[in-house]
Amino acid sequence: MISTALTKTNEDPNIQQEALEYISASRLSCWQQCRRKHYFRYIAKLPSQPSPALHLGKVVHSTLQRWNLWRWDKQSYTRKQLRAAFLDAWISEQLDQPIEWESEDKEAELRDKAWSLVEAYLDASPIDEDEQIAGVEVHLEAEIDGLPPIIGTRKFTYRFRPRDMPRGS
């Protein structure tokens, strides 16, 4: 598979176009860290293997993002609702990037550890739950003449919510 990926550059005249399909912070960071890694990931599009640790990290991040978005929107919530959002994220991530668990018990053990991590963060957070949030991560897309589309997630520190942001034409 790797040898096929390496020869793809010579055979495919559209390789530069694929590389510039769009620009994102993660693509640029990957290119800066290791150009070969960038090539394998975005040009050759070699599949990466999901891992239990990555699954846990994505689910915890998604859950804390949901928590912050609720706070940003000044919505009331309970730990029970956050736990439900956590379980939804767990299932969604499993559907998106399936993990072959050693056993159901191992999956349940990791899921419990992930939720314990979320609870520990919430319990130890120095941020008062009533405090106004300065910013949240939101999806960003932009088109600038002469450049590929820019797509990514960035932390915005506006005092208004994303739904209040002006829409471009």
How many structural domains is the chain composed of?
2
Residue 43 is given by DSSP the state I
pLDDT tier at 24 (50, 70, 90 boundaries)? confident
Tell me, yes or no, whether 27 and 80 share the same domain: no
Tell me, yes or no, whether 97 and 117 share the same domain: yes
- CA angle, residues 121, 53, 59, in degrees to nearest 5: 50
Q: Is the pLDDT of residue 149 over 80?
A: no
Tell me, yes or no, whether 68 and 120 share the same domain: yes
Tell me, yes or no, whether 85 and 142 share the same domain: no
Q: Is the pLDDT of residue 113 over 90?
A: yes
Q: Is the pLDDT of residue 112 over 50?
A: yes
Residue 151 bridge partners (DSSP): 141
Residue 83 lies in a domain: yes
Helix boundaries (H) for the chain:
2-11, 15-19, 25-33, 35-38, 52-72, 79-96, 104-124
For residues 165 and 3, the model is more confident at 165
For residues 18 and 8, the model is more confident at 18
User: Are 115 and 83 a contacting pair, CB within 8 Å?
Assistant: yes
pLDDT tier at 41 (50, 70, 90 boundaries)? confident
- Cα 45 to the chain's mean position, in Å? 18
- What is the model's pTM? 0.63
Tell me, yes or no, whether 43 and 72 share the same domain: no
Residue 169 lies in a domain: no
pLDDT at position 58? 94
Rounded alpha-carbon distances, angstroms, from residue 129 to 56, 74, 84, 96, 132: 24, 10, 19, 31, 8
Residue range(s) defining the domain that contains residue 68: 52-124
- Output the CA torsion 3→4→9→15 (10° steps): -140
Tell me, yes or no, whether 39 and 60 share the same domain: no
Tell me, yes or no, whether 36 and 66 share the same domain: no
pLDDT at position 64? 92
Residue 129 lies in a domain: no
pLDDT tier at 130 (50, 70, 90 boundaries)? confident
pLDDT at position 3? 41
